[in-house]
Structure 1
Amino acid sequence: MINATAPFRFVLLAPLAIYLTILAAPAHAAACGSSAGGFGKWLAGFRQQAAGQGISASAIDAGLGGVTYDPRIIRLDRNQKSFKLSFEQFYARRVGSALVGRARARLRKHAALFDRIEHTFGVPREIVVSIWGLETNFGADTSGKYSIFRSLATLAYDCRRSPFFTGQLMDALRIIDDAHMRPEELRGGWAGEIGQTQFLPTPYVKFAVDFDGDGRKDLIHSVPDVLASTANFLKGHGWQAGQSWDPGSANYAVIRDWNRAQVYQRTISVMASRLR
């Protein structure tokens, strides 16, 4: 699911996972930087800060042990072009008949699950399945190419959005401290997005739910957890059950909380309407 908005993706740009926590993010323990030179000192200060917030030493060591600065992440952060397309260009690039067909197949396959989600959260299945398809092609594109901790530490140290990503990094540590995921599982998008609908860690901590009842909030492997958590995010941002999601509606504004890129917001709305 950053204004940080993320692929959320920056315009990040979440996941969102996109979720504004800049004001709530903790102050960083050492000066930010624009090169690898001061990263080690910054990371040592952040580790102390995390311990001061009650995160266990074992979680800090597991998440941050051996983490180094990654200049690739900075290059990716500075080179985001897809959200500069027109809506027509963006929609044509991201939504085709094949994606819509796969969405319809998922709606049939998981009909009982979507019934539960709609009853519990009041968010229509067409919206949830559209987000699922657009973010990762229904989980097929979660390659886990990047270390979440290395990416977030790099972006937290970088001066452009240091407070925002410092908060995300802290919450990534909380995810493993609470045993919802193992450190080695935290691999995902270059900006720290996790799982099949690309939550950043802060909305993960706030909105992820255990919908399959196994005691973990698993947004990588558990389809019930993935879809219910996505619906819970939207409910938590004010989704009005039974109401329109067309442009100008309150629910259309909630979609913007998922991703602040206007072309992405409109694409979710239009794809969901096509599925309705």
Structure 2
Amino acid sequence: MAVLAKGRVFAAATLAALMMATGAQAAGQCGKDGSGFAAWTEAYKADAQARGIDTRPMQGVKYDTGVIKIDRSQHKAFKGTVEQFLARRAPASYVSKAKGYMKSQAGLLRKIEAQFGVQPEVLLAIWGMETGFGANSGNKSVFGPLATLAYDCRRSEFFTNELDSALEIAQKGYISAAQMRGAGFGELGQTQFLPSKYLQFAVDFDGDGRRDLIHSRADVLASTANFLRGHGWSAGGGYRPGEANYGVWNDWNRATIYQKALAEFAHRIAN
């Protein structure tokens, strides 16, 4: 998902800073390199614990230079044409695989569409583009990258909220801390939910008592549909440029080329 926080005008940002102390501000000074990370981490833990958050999953976290490097170069991943992007992220083999899932998972997809109003090809496009239908969800603990990005000044407030949310997920036992592993930006599961979005939109669709976006295909696809519905998806509406649901893609990913590619990928699956 990796949704990028929108910019705000200077006056609004200043007013917000004056009116409210964020978790990041309460924790300590953000930084632009790793030199202050250890001190920030200890300050964050003290603040979080005072707010009733169990920080034990953060034990041993280190400044992640890899995630900072990727964060600084995200724009490179979204260069080129839509067709070039599709060739990398949704090649013809993915379209064929998705068409196979349209048949093999038809019953599940119909139930999800009946409840949430999201077309099967849309869910399959997201699932395929995000993790290759669950094959590439990642195996890196979310806590180090989230702590690093929360400390980093570029989007400290945004990722402090995600770190808080990740710790809440572990503390409440929704997913064990050991299982909270992803591709490197703190995303969870087969369609890469940020922790705060897990808390808002994850659903237990298979009825086993857990909202499992790591192992349960039913939960993964239904939760993705719930996210889209929660952001204004119109049941059965079009999703290509100029159609009713095209704007909802922006709430999944802010990159224009990603939005166009998802819409085209879904269209190819359906046709």
Q: TM exceeds 0.5?
A: yes
Q: Which has the higher helix share?
A: 2
The answer to whether structure 1 residue 89 and structure 2 residue 84 are counterparts is yes
The answer to whether structure 1 residue 44 and structure 2 residue 54 are counterparts is no
Matched residue, 2:122 = 127
Shift of 1:72: 1.7
Structure 1 counterpart of 2:125, one-letter code: S
> Are 2:4 and 2:253, in contact at CA under 8 Å, matched by a contact in 1?
no
Structural mapping, 1:136-147, within 5 Å: 136-144=131-139, 146-147=140-141
Q: Distance in 1 between matches of 2:102 and 2:73?
A: 35
Shift of 1:3: 5.8
> Are 1:25 and 1:164, in contact at CA under 8 Å, matched by a contact in 2?
no
Q: Distance in 2 between matches of 1:261 and 1:270?
A: 14
> Are 2:63 and 2:148, in contact at CA under 8 Å, matched by a contact in 1?
yes
Matched residue, 1:4 = 4
Residues 184 and 136 from structure 1, CA distance in 2 versus in 1: closer, same or farther, beyond 3 angstroms?
A: same
Q: Distance in 2 between matches of 1:194 and 1:32?
A: 25
Instruction: Please report the TM-score for the alignment, with normalisation by the length of structure 2.
Output: 0.89
Matched residue, 1:169 = 163
Matched residue, 1:231 = 225
Q: Which moved more, 1:150-159 or 1:266-275?
A: 266-275
Matched residue, 1:102 = 97
Shift of 1:24: 11
**1:83-109 CA deviation, whole Å, 9 max, x = no partner?**
022222212322222111110111111
The answer to whether structure 1 residue 54 and structure 2 residue 48 are counterparts is no
**1:43-73 CA deviation, whole Å, 9 max, x = no partner?**
1221122223332x3xx11x11111112122
Structural mapping, 1:146-161, within 5 Å: 146-161=140-155
> Are 2:145 and 2:185, in contact at CA under 8 Å, matched by a contact in 1?
yes
Structure 1 counterpart of 2:28, one-letter code: A
Q: Distance in 1 between matches of 2:133 and 2:201?
A: 19
Matched residue, 1:32 = 30
Structural mapping, 1:70-81, within 5 Å: 70-80=64-74, 81=76
**1:177-199 CA deviation, whole Å, 9 max, x = no partner?**
12111111111112111110011
Structure 1 counterpart of 2:108, one-letter code: L
Shift of 1:164: 0.6
The answer to whether structure 1 residue 204 and structure 2 residue 198 are counterparts is yes
Identity %: 49
Shift of 1:2: 5.0
Q: Distance in 2 between matches of 1:271 and 1:70?
A: 33
Matched residue, 1:264 = 258
Number of aligned residues:
256
The answer to whether structure 1 residue 194 and structure 2 residue 192 are counterparts is no
Structure 2 counterpart of 1:170, one-letter code: D
Task: Pick from 101, 107, 110 the counterpart of residue 112 of structure 1.
Answer: 107
Shift of 1:274: 1.5
Shift of 1:250: 3.1
Q: Unaligned regions of 5+ residues in structure 1, if any?
A: 11-22
Q: Distance in 2 between matches of 1:132 and 1:187?
A: 17
SS at match of 1:250: coil
**1:243-273 CA deviation, whole Å, 9 max, x = no partner?**
1112122310001211111111111111111
Task: Pick from 249, 252, 263 the counterpart of residue 255 of structure 1.
Answer: 249
Structure 1 counterpart of 2:73, one-letter code: N
Q: Distance in 1 between matches of 2:102 and 2:86?
A: 21
Q: Distance in 1 between matches of 2:199 and 2:119?
A: 23
Structure 2 counterpart of 1:127, one-letter code: V
Instruction: Please report the TM-score for the alignment, with normalisation by the length of structure 1.
Output: 0.87
SS at match of 2:260: helix
Task: Pick from 197, 201, 209 the counterpart of residue 215 of structure 1.
Answer: 209
